Amino acid sequence: MAKFKNLYILVLSVLTFACSEDFTDLAPISQRNVENFYQTATDIEVAVNGIYNSLRAEGTYNRSYWIMQEMRSDNTDQGTDVTGLAREITVIEEFEEISTSNIVEAAWVDSYFGIARANAVINRIDGVEMEESLRNRLTGEALFLRSLFYYNLAISFGNIPLILTETQSVEEGQGHRQVNATAVFNQIAIDLASAENLLNLPSETGGLDLGRATKGSAATLLAKVHLMLGDDGPAETVLRRIISDYGYQLVEDYGNLWGISNEHNTESIFEVEYQGGGFGGGNQFTNSFTPQTPTNGALGVWRNRPTSEMLAAYEDGDERTYASLDTIYFEVNNGDTTFLTNSANDVRFITKYGIENPFQEGDASNNFTVFRYADVLLMLAEAIGESDEAYALINQVRDRAGLGDIDAATPGTFEDKLLQERRVELAFENHRWADLVRFGKVESVMTAIGKTPRSLFLIPQREIDLNGELDQN
């Protein structure tokens, strides 16, 4: 499968964007790069590829996002072995992290690094000669990617600087004040509406462009933002457009959503691209999600583990269960290890991202699925509220899982039934924490499993020290 972020693009992206060692959250462009770059359409294309590359960073989808949005919730935890490096993760799931957490700081720094790259493209693209169709697409991609970084920041931190122009000096970057999450969501809703208009249809993106943002990518995030704002009507309009105009459909077998051979399927809306092989483009989450087994040698470090509550959330007969997670038991006889699955010994691990033997540790090729069509169907059910149509949308997803229909007579509130369906359908895909926030369930869900939650992460202390305008959450 061709992936547009090959080694050549990766190297160019790294060399092109120099950042200040003293203020990495805004990543100002050096004067030398400003003078010599952004001159041609090819320069702008490379610059946009650099924004995509920020999605693969350790502070974004490669590590921090899944720790802060999945492990923070009731879906996963670190497990009982909490010494050494594992301890840094455990304090986040226990709501005990402090403002110097490397994981949280990396999320802030790498997200703003991607935003700075996007701002540079948006600021400079109109001054570069190129075909208008290419200008539109690249502008739309930059707007979508900037919005995606801001969405993740607003979910995690709430009150953040909203920077929409290129930062070219450390002094300029240090004066930005925070705005609340509502202001961030309002701005990115504007940007995403523009991006959807500028981007290509999903059917027009393939070959070497496979993996780039499309109209469907922008529309899906736009709908999610409208729901976060409580704007159900605008969300419904966008979601119906995705369903009617953009050609997505559910994959028939839930198990066929996962694995390298199934990437960019008919249900996929946006994925973060990874390519292993020793070139610096692989992911570390595959190793982080799987235990050490006879099939992957010593490469599994097993940092992100489904909770017992997560396993219990699946109904009997739900075909999503063992396509999403599994249980493992090791039996050692005279030095030989037997690998047994579905055993009575309930040691749980995530299977969605593969149990492969990558080229080296932290160098797997699995993509991270950010948005897919099942989420669109469930969001539309949320937007229109309890009704026959809403249950029909939920039941499309349940039918694919081999489960019977639910309706208004099924026990529980509509909200609880919908949140339950989102949990098991989208498990380990970084939706759970945002769902708990949006549904107002953080306190009740987390206290039920013995946690004392807080809704927002602390602003990294390093950023407060650098920018006197920032207030701590």
Does residue 45 sit within a domain?
Answer: yes
The tokens for 384 are 């229109």
Do you know the residue count of the chain? 473
Predicted confidence (pLDDT) at residue 316 exceeds the cutoff of 70: yes
| pLDDT mean over 31-54 | 86
Confidence category of residue 95, pLDDT binned at 50, 70, 90: very high
Alpha-carbon gap, residue 459 to 98, rounded angstroms: 9
Q: Which residue has the tokens 């359409």?
A: 41
Nearest to 109 by CA among 141, 64, 143: 64
Tell whether 18 is covered by a domain: yes
Q: Is residue 34 part of a domain?
A: yes
* Domain that includes residue 95, residue range: 7-210+455-466
Using one digit for the tens of pLDDT, what is the confidence trace for 262-280? 999 999 999 999 998 888 8
The whole-number pLDDT of residue 81 equals 64
Is a pLDDT exceeding 90 seen at residue 303?
no
Average pLDDT, stretch 331-346?
47
**What is the reported pTM?**
0.90
Confidence of residue 357 (pLDDT cuts 50, 70, 90): low
Give the integer Cα–Cα distance in Å for 224 and 421. Answer: 16
Tell me the pLDDT tens digit for each residue of 187-200: 999 999 999 999 99
Give me the residue label for tokens 């202390």.
461
Q: By the 8 A CB rule, do 29 and 168 touch?
A: yes
The mean per-residue pLDDT over the stretch 55-72 comes to 96
Would you say residue 11 has pLDDT above 70? Answer: no
Q: Are the C-beta atoms of residues 142 and 122 closer than 8 Å to each other?
A: yes
296 is a domain residue: no
Tokens of 2: 């061709």
Which amino acid is present at 131?
A: E
| Domain CATH code at residue 52 | 1.25.40.390
Model confidence pLDDT, tens digit, residues 107-128: 999 999 999 999 999 999 999 9
DSSP summary character for residue 236: H
* Cβ-based neighbours of 46, under 8 Å, separated by 6 or more: 9, 12, 13, 16
Q: Is 433 inside a domain boundary?
A: no
Tokens of 85: 């490096």
Distance, in Å, from the CA atom of 286 to the CA atom of 168, rounded to the nearest integer, reads 37
What is the number of domains present in the chain?
Answer: 1
Q: Kindly report the average pLDDT of the chain as a whole number.
A: 87
DSSP class per residue in 383-432: HH-SSHHHHHHHHHHHHHTT-----TTSSS-HHHHHHHHHHHHSTTSS-H
